[in-house]
Structure 1
Amino acid sequence: MKVLHISTSDTNGGAARATYRLHKGLQNINVNSQMLVQEKYSDDTTVLAPKIRLSQGIARAKLTFDVLPLKLYSQRDRTTFSLQWLPDGVIPKVTQIDPDIINLHWMSGGFIQIETIAKLPRPLVWTLHDMWAFTGGCHYSGECDRYTKSCGTCPLLKSSKDWDLSRWVWQRKAKAWRDLNLTIVTPSSWLAKCASSSSLFQDLPIEVIPNGLDTQNYRPINQRVARQLLNLPQDKQLVLFGALEATSDRRKGFHLLQAALVELSKSGWKDKLEAVIFGASQPQSPPDLGLIANYLGHLSDDLSLAVVYSAADVMVVPSFQEAFGQTASESLACGTPVVAFNATGLKDIVDHQFNGYLAKPYEAEDLAKGIAWVLENPDRYQKLSHRAREKAEKEFTLEIQVHRYLDIYFHLKKEIRKQP
């Protein structure tokens, strides 16, 4: 079995890290797994990327050129919107590798043209890490459900026309992928429901397989030792928040966490709590959280992240929309309960008042209530922490994920052999 994963990157970002973990998990059980990426950050020889500087420069330039048509929409929301309209050189590389199965992942940033996907040989599995595959360009649709029809009049583009850029992208996907034999995998039941209600994927098989992690890397570490390593206070309860672009990406909900912490500060928790933030450095004018805030900057390696999760008393993931919520599962694996909103992919990870707290969407006051509920009772906290680790061991191990993917791969390979 020879598997090829196609991803924009190998380790830069949550989707890339999830893909790389799957890749390494397959190798751990002696599956011939490789990755084809646009930008490589690891030194892994089984990750293939452009080697010459010219190719790397072209790849980076495509990031700029791919978004040029968006300049027609000057009032648009400044959120990721991918058009994938530029030609690429992916097919010759895939042909040279000659895999049995191609597993597509997050491929935006101008890496692969929409039309190229239809030309890829071999059975295709597409692991969705957000909503882009079945929308007219957005990666998260917010409250918009136009992807269930044919997009157009896009609220993110601030467009009032049916035939806008989002309709053009949707039409290209619909035309190119009309007869495509795809198996869709989503990491959460919420994303599976969105995909099955979309006009592009409503007739395709969809499997739910949570993202896996190495529970030997992500495990509880002595809290006192973890705090000593990070130079964090030993006499305070620590509230953790982290994400890529943690404080600037509005979808991640930092402003709601800010409101919740201010609420806690006013209600008697000011001298008991401190905030810890990773994924962002301390800004020149730090926002008022009502508490002392410790900014750890960008962290990417598993050991550093496990130490941070173990140092904290509670992890808060206040996102509006998450395909899964990888920081939440990582935190649980380290025995740290999670507070999140009762919405989207996080509902599959956090069990309300069992290993964390699911607040009413999207109420900062209930988020504050959830943080307090997790922290206020030491005996209850110990149970929450134990159940957090237990959930990760039962549902989010890399071994479970890998074998479920392998079942899909073998099934598709068997179906191909049956064809005349």
Structure 2
Amino acid sequence: MKVLHLNTYDIVGGAARAAYRLHKGLQGIGVQSKMLVQTKVSDDYSVIAPTFWLDKIVNKFRPSLAKLTLDNTQQLFSPQWLPDNIMPKIKQNQPDIVNLNWVCDGYFQIETLAKIPQPKIWTLMDMWAFTGGCHYSNTCDRYINSCGACPQLHSYKDQDLSSWVWKRKVNAWRNINITIVSPSNWLAKCAKSSSIFQDTRIEVIPFGLDINRYKPIPQKIARDILHLSQHKLIVLFGAIQATNDLRKGFQLLKIALQHLRQFGYQDKIELAIFGASQPDPPVDLGFRTHYLGQLHDDITLQIIYSAANVMIVPSLQEAFGQTASESLACGTPVVAFDGNGLSDIINHQQNGYLAKPLDTYDLAKGINWVLEDSDRLQRLSYRAREKAEQEFSQELQAKRYLSLFEEIMSSHSSKS
């Protein structure tokens, strides 16, 4: 079976990492898998990207061109109006099945989807596929019926850019045969409630990772490498643009840390933050803080997770939450808000703590609950690794996808 994955990038960003992990997982069980991307960073021969100099120049400017219709919105919003050159490349590779992933930043025009003749899977990385352009809806639920008067565009008009994007999707995908795969039950529920995918088959397959690479290493060694204290409790937080992306919840973590001081941890805790450098001027978080900067490799992440006592993932919305599953695989329990994709990763008071949605005091209580009892912390650590082994291995994810691919291919052949 020949599988072709479409994704804007190969390894840059969380969605790219998720798509690439699936691609490598399928190769690991003998599937002929390739990735077709707009921008390639790796040297992986099985990742296909434009090689002609003019195509490279055009693709370099696609993300900026794609945002020309936006009015300086600070939210991630993708109209996907640019024409693309994907169909000739799909035809050239002759796949048996096409798996879409994160295809934004001008890479994939909405109308292209209906032109793909092969059986199609769409692995959701966020909410974009069923909204009028936003990647996360925040508190807006207009995608359930139709978009318009978009709060992320600061619009009060029913006929706005989000309405136009939503109508294009409805018209272009009206009779399309596609299977949606969500990494979490929360995102699957959102997709099923949408006007675009309400009648579409939706499956849930969690994101996988290499649990032989993401595994615990001795905490003392990890802390020596990172020059972290051997005697303090280390609270970890991290994400791409960790302190600037409002959806990742750093602003809520700051409040929770103020609450945490009430539990008497002033001299017992140090913070570690990856995905950001120390801001100027520095922010007083109430505890000594180590900024570890931007990270791009699995080994460094494994070391950081292993050095921590607890990982905090205070995202407002999360399709899945790969930092949480990576942390569990390294034996570090996770504290997060309930009510999004993280609820599938964390078993409350088994391998971490699920706080009431956006309740910063309960988030602080969760951190305290994990740290206050050393025997409990050890049990949580064991169960964290156990959960990763049982549910998040790359091989298990690949086998689940292969089973779905084979079923869809069989159904497609019988109808041909």
TM range (shorter): over 0.9
Matched, 1:68 2:64: no
Q: Is the 8 A contact 2:274 2:291 kept in 1?
A: yes
Q: Secondary structure at the match of 1:115?
A: helix
Residue 262 of structure 1 deviates from its aligned partner by: 2.2
Count residues with an aligned counterpart.
Answer: 416
Query: Amino acid of the residue matched to residue 50 of structure 1?
Result: P
2:102 & 2:309 partners in 1: Cα distance?
32
**In structure 2, what is the Cα distance between the partners aligned to 1:264 and 1:125?**
44
Determine whether 1:260 maps to 2:253.
Answer: no
The aligned amino acid for 1:312 is A
Partner residue of 1:314 out of 282, 295, 310: 310
8 A contact 1:318–1:341 mirrored in 2? yes
CA contact (8 A) 1:128 1:185 kept: yes
Q: CA deviation at 1:300?
A: 2.0
SS of the residue corresponding to residue 255 of structure 1 reads helix
Tell me the alpha carbon deviations over residues 306-362 of structure 1, each in whole angstroms, 9 at most, x when there is no partner: 110000000000000000011001100110000001111010011111110111111
Deviation at 1:160, TM superposition (A): 1.0
Deviations 1:113-149 (A, max 9, x none): 0011111120000000100000000000011111011
Structure 1 residue 266, shift from structure 2 partner = 4.3
Does structure 1 retain, via aligned residues, the 8 Å contact 2:26–2:398? yes
Q: Which residue of 1 aligns with 2:176?
A: 180
Q: CA deviation at 1:273?
A: 0.4
C-alpha distance in 1 between matches for 2:390 and 2:64:
43
Q: Does 1:330 align with 2:329?
A: no
What per-residue deviation string (whole Å, max 9, x for no partner) do you get for residues 174-219 of structure 1?
0111111100000000000000000000001000000001110010
> Is 1:137–2:133 an aligned residue pair?
yes
Residue 101 (str. 1) matches residue 97 (str. 2): yes
The residue aligned with 1:404 is: 400
- CA–CA separation in structure 2 for the residues paired with 1:142 and 1:10: 27
Per the alignment, residue 297 of structure 2 pairs with 301
The aligned amino acid for 1:132 is W
Q: Distance in 2 between matches of 1:48 and 1:366?
A: 46
Please name the residue that 1:194 is paired with. Answer: 190
Give 5+ residue unaligned stretches, structure 1. Answer: none
Partner of residue 54, structure 2: 54
Counterpart residue identity of residue 115, structure 1: E
Tell me, yes or no, if the aligned pair for 2:348 and 2:354 is still in contact at 8 Å: yes
Which ranges of structure 2 fall in alignment gaps of 5 or more residues? none
The 2-side partners of 1:341 and 1:175 are apart by: 36
The whole-number CA distance in structure 1 between the counterparts of 2:220 and 2:118 is: 51
CA distance in 2, matches of 1:201, 1:286: 45
* CA displacement at 1:399 relative to structure 2: 1.3
| Aligned equivalents of 1:55, 1:271: Cα separation in 2 | 56
Partner SS, residue 340 of structure 1:
strand
For 2:174 and 2:59, the matched residues in 1 are separated by 28
CA distance in structure 2 between the aligned counterparts of 1:309 and 1:54, rounded to whole angstroms = 42
Match of 2:380 among 361, 381, 384: 384
CA distance in 2, matches of 1:284, 1:51: 40
Note if 1:282 corresponds to 2:278. yes
What is the rounded CA distance, in whole Å, between the counterparts of 1:7 and 1:417 in structure 2?
Answer: 26
Secondary structure class of the residue paired with 1:3: strand
C-alpha separation in 1, matches of 2:221 and 2:258: 29
Separation in 1 of the partners of 2:275 and 2:54?
30
Corresponding letter in the other structure for 1:219 = K
Task: Among all aligned residue pairs of Structure 1 and Structure 2, give the percentage whose two residues are the same amino acid.
Answer: 60
- Asked if 1 retains the 8 angstrom alpha-carbon contact of 2:28 and 2:395, the reply is no
Q: Answer whether contact 1:258 1:288 (CA < 8 A) is retained.
A: no
Map 1:35-50 → 2, pairs under 5 A: 35-50=35-50
The one-letter code sitting in structure 2 at the alignment partner of 1:157 is L
- Once the two structures are TM-superposed, the CA of residue 164 in structure 1 deviates from its matched residue by 0.5
Report the residue type matching 1:411 in the other structure. Answer: E
Corresponding residue for residue 8 of structure 1: 8
Which residue of structure 2 aligns with residue 372 of structure 1? 368
1:241, 1:8 → 2: CA distance? 27
Runs of 4+ in 1 over 6 A off after TM superposition: none
Does residue 117 of the first structure (1) align with residue 113 of the second (2)?
yes
Task: Please give the alpha-carbon distance, in whole angstroms, between the structure 2 residues aligned to 1:4 and 1:269.
Answer: 51
Distance 1:224 1:10 in 2: 34
Partners of 2:142 and 2:325 in 1: CA distance: 30
What is the one-letter code of the residue matched to 2:44? D
**Root mean square deviation, CA, Å:** 0.9
* Contact 1:135 1:151 survives alignment (8 Å): yes
Given that residues 148 and 159 in structure 2 are in contact (C-alpha distance below 8 angstroms), is that contact kept between their aligned partners in structure 1? yes
CA distance in 1, matches of 2:7, 2:282: 35
Question: Contact conserved, 1:262 with 1:291, CA < 8 A, in 2?
Answer: no
Q: Hey, what's the Cα distance between the residues in 1 that align with 2:363 and 2:411?
A: 48
Corresponding residue of 1:236: 232
Q: Distance in 1 between matches of 2:141 and 2:233?
A: 40
Is 1:351 equivalent to 2:347 in the alignment? Answer: yes
Partners of 1:378 and 1:307 lie apart in 2 by: 21
Q: In structure 2, how many angstroms separate the alpha carbons of the residues matched to 1:256 and 1:151? A: 28
Alignment of 1:193-232 (within 5 A): 193-232=189-228
Query: Aligned partners of 1:295, 1:50: CA distance in 2, in Å?
Result: 36
Task: Please state whether the residue corresponding to 1:147 is helix, strand or coil.
Answer: helix
Q: Contact between 2:263 and 2:368, CA under 8 Å: does it hold in 1? A: no
Give the partner amino acid of 2:32: N
| Residues 251 and 320 in structure 1, CA contact (< 8 A), matched pair in contact too | yes
